[in-house]
Amino acid sequence: MIRRLLVANRGEIACRIFRTCRDLGISTVAVFSDADAAAAHVEQADTAVWLPGNTPAETYLRADLLIEAARRTDADAIHPGYGFLSENAEFAQAVIDAGLTWVGPPPAAIETMGSKIRSKKLMDDAGVPVLTELEPAAVTDDQLPVLVKASAGGGGRGMRVARSLAELPDTVAAASSEAASAFGDPTVFCEPYLERGRHIEVQILADEHGTTWALGERECSIQRRHQKIIEETPSPMVDPEMRERLCGAAVAAAEAVGYVGAGTVEFLATEAGRFYFLEMNTRLQVEHPVTECVTGLDLVAWQLRIALGEPLPQDGPPPFDGHSIEARLYAEDPAHDWQPTAGHLHRFEFPSPAACFDRPQRYGLRVDAGYRSGDTVSTHYDAMLAKVITWAPNRGEAIARLAGALGEAHLHGVTTNRDLLVRLLHHEEFRAGDFDTSFFGRHGLETLASPLATPEVQRLCAAAAALSDAAVNRTKVADLAGLPSAWRNVPAVPQRKEYAVGATTIAIEYQWTRGGIQLEGFDRLRVVDFGPALVTLEVDGLRTTFTVATYPDRVCVDCSAGAVTLERINRFPDPAEQHAAGTLLAPMPGTVTALHAADGDAVSNGDPLITLEAMKMHHTISASDDGIAEIKVVVGQQVDAGAILAIVAERTDES
C-alpha cells in the first residue's frame, strides 16, 4: 500500500490528487516555491516542503530536491501530476532507484514517447497512421504549410506554423528557442499542417498484467496558440465506427511501448474520418475530468492502484453516460494576442458547484481550481486559473450549463478569457459541432474577444458604481444621517465620477433632489434602490440588479448582461505617471529574453523590438509607430508590469 504520497507539482493538479488521497486514506505531501508559499495546494496537504526559489528551474524541475523532500517526509511514493517532470524518464528512474513507488508509466515508455521523432517511427512500424516527418532544411514549396514542433514536451510550446519558405528559418529558430526554454531540448521537426484538422485524443488505462482499456475519445480542437481551451467527450464528429478505429489505434500505440498506467494518445483527424498519430502524453491530462464524468472512474485512484500492481477488471471499462465538456479559464487577455495577466485575485467564486475535483453524484457542475479569492497569480507558472466542467445527458445541455456557470462567476482582479469562452459556447458553429483547430484563425477575435457587456451595459455598470460610491459616502457622514435626502445649505451641484473601461472613458453625473438621487443623461431610467454592494436600476420597466465590489485599484460590477471592471480616473493625475508618446510599457511582469533592435536603430510600426518571457510563453513587444528606438532594458532583466521597455522617438531631420 501507499501510506504517504508526495505530489511533485503545484496548483490545481496537486489539489486534485490530494482529493483522491483523502478518499483512499493516503497521507499527502506538497512541495512549494517561494511564490507558492500561501497557495491552496500547500494548505490542503498534510505536510509541505519548501523549495527555495521561484522559477521552475529552481524548484519544481529539481529532481534531487523532490526526492530529498520525499525522504525527509517519509513518503513512499511520488505522483508527478502533469507538466514539469511528469514526462521526464530520468526523474521516473531516479524515483524508482530511490526505492519509492513511481505513480506513472515505465521510464522506457516515457523516454520512447517523449521524442516525437522516435515515437512517430515506432507508431508507423506498429501500423498506427502517422503524418510524414519533414526535415526543416529540406521542406519544399509544395509541402507548405508546415507545422514546426518541438520534439520534446507539448502543451503548444515550441510549436509554430510556417506558410512560406522565406519565413521558415525564423519560425524554426523561434520554436527551437521556446522549446529549449520550456523543455531543455531545442530539437524541432516539421510535418504537414492540416488547416482544417480536428484534434482528437483517446484516454487509456493499462495495467502490468497485459490489459489495456481505451476510455473513449475527447474532442480538443478549440485551441489558441496550439493549446487547448475547450475539451469534451464524446466528440461530435466521431461515429461508432470511427471510435472503434481510434480506440484500436490507441491500444496498439500503448502496447507497442509496453505502456502501464494512465495516458493519452493524440490524433489529428479529418472530416472524412481519417486520422494520424500526433503524440502520446505519458501522464494524466489536464482534461481528464470529462472522461471521469462520463465513465464514473477516478483516474487518479486507478493510477495509484496500477502503480501497486492491481489489475484492471476483466469485464472491461464501464459504459459511458451522457456528455461532459470542460473550459479552461485562463488569466489572459484574448483581445490583446492572448496576453497573460498576473496580479491579485480579489474575488474568485463560481455558482455553487455540485463537486470540486470529483465527479458530481448526478449531472451538474464540477470546478477544479488551484486558486481562491485573495490569491496572487504569479508570472512564473502557467496562466490557467481553473477548469470548469459540466456533465449532462446530452451535448446541448452540457454547453448551456457551462456557459451559464461561467457567466455567473465572480472573477475580480486579473483579466480572464471568461467572456470569450461564453461567446464561443454560444457560437452556432460550435453548437453544431462543425469546427476545427483553425476556429479562431477563421473567425478572428474582433467579436469573440469583445466583452459580453455592451457599451450601454457598461454605462449602466458605471452608474451603479457611482451610486455605490454615493451610498458609501453618505453613510460616512454621520451628521447628515437624520436629514432629508434633498436638504442642502448651498445650491445643488451634480457630482461627477469618471471611469475607464479599456480605452473608453465613461462620465457619470448625479445629484440629490427632493425625490431622491437622480442620474443625469439617462433616458427612461429610474433608480429603484442602491447601497454599497447592490444597486437596482429600472430602464423602460425592466429591472436589473448590479453587484458592486470596490477595491483599491478598481470597481467590479456584475450583472446578468455581463461583468465590467472599471478603473477610477483621478481628477488630478500625477504628472510623473504620464509617459511620452511612443513609450512601450511591459504588459505583464516577465523576463527580457531577446532584443531585436538597438539604441538608435530606425524602426517601423510593427517591427519586433523585445521578447518577454512570462507564464511559460514568449511574447513579442513591437514598435507602435515609425521612429528611432531607445531600448531601456537588457537581456535577462526582470521587469514589472508597466515598466518602460523602450521609446520609439519621432525621427528628426538629422535622423
Amino acid 569 reads I
Closest by CA position to 257, among listed 275, 276, 277: 277
Percent of the chain with pLDDT strictly greater than 90 = 74
Model pLDDT for residues 558-616, shown as the tens digit of each residue? 999 999 999 999 865 655 556 777 889 888 788 899 999 998 899 999 899 999 887 76
Band the pLDDT of 289: cuts 50, 70, 90. very high
pLDDT score recorded for residue 527: 95
Q: Cell digits for 639?
A: 521587469
Vertex 654, ends 651 and 655: CA angle to 5°? Answer: 40
Active site residues: 283
For each of the domains in the chain, give its residue range(s) and CATH number, in order of start.
4-103 (3.40.50.20), 113-192 (3.30.1490.20), 325-448 (3.30.470.20), 455-568 (3.30.700), 576-649 (2.40.50.100)
Model pLDDT for residues 452-487, shown as the tens digit of each residue? 999 999 999 999 999 999 999 877 665 555 555 555
Model pLDDT for residues 380-393, shown as the tens digit of each residue? 898 999 999 999 99
Q: Cell digits for 363?
A: 449531472
Beta carbons of 440 and 224 less than 8 angstroms apart: yes
Instruction: Name the 3-class secondary structure at 204.
Output: strand
Beta carbons of 519 and 528 less than 8 angstroms apart: no
Report how far residue 277's alpha carbon sits from residue 201's, in angstroms, rounded to the nearest whole number: 9
Compute φ and ψ for 229, nearest 5 degrees: -130, -20
Beta pairing, strands 4-7 & 27-32: parallel
Q: Cell digits for 423?
A: 461567446
Band the pLDDT of 513: cuts 50, 70, 90. confident
Q: Which ranges constitute the DSSP H helices of 257-313?
A: 288-295, 299-307
Q: Cell digits for 613?
A: 518571457
Cα dihedral sign, 309-313-317-322: negative
Beta carbons of 214 and 253 less than 8 angstroms apart: no
Report how far residue 261's alpha carbon sits from residue 253's, in angstroms, rounded to the nearest whole number: 13
Burial of 5-33, coded b for 16+ CB within 10 Å and e otherwise, reads bbbbbbbbbbbbbbbbbeeeebbbbbbbb
Report how far residue 474's alpha carbon sits from residue 222's, in angstroms, rounded to the nearest whole number: 49
Model pLDDT for residues 128-160, shown as the tens digit of each residue? 999 888 899 999 998 999 999 888 866 677 889
Report how far residue 2's alpha carbon sits from residue 77's, in angstroms, rounded to the nearest whole number: 7
Report how far residue 171's alpha carbon sits from residue 160's, in angstroms, rounded to the nearest whole number: 7
Beta bridge partners of 102: 78
Instruction: Name the 3-class secondary structure at 404.
Output: helix
Closest by CA position to 36, among listed 19, 13, 68: 13
Cis peptide before 192 (omega within 30 of 0): no
End-to-end CA distance of the chain: 74
Report how far residue 566's alpha carbon sits from residue 551's, in angstroms, rounded to the nearest whole number: 10
Band the pLDDT of 322: cuts 50, 70, 90. very high
What DSSP state is assigned to residue 27?
A: E
What DSSP state is assigned to residue 151?
A: S
Report how far residue 459's alpha carbon sits from residue 548's, in angstroms, rounded to the nearest whole number: 14
Report how far residue 273's alpha carbon sits from residue 240's, in angstroms, rounded to the nearest whole number: 11
Average pLDDT, the chain: 92
Average pLDDT over residues 423-430: 97
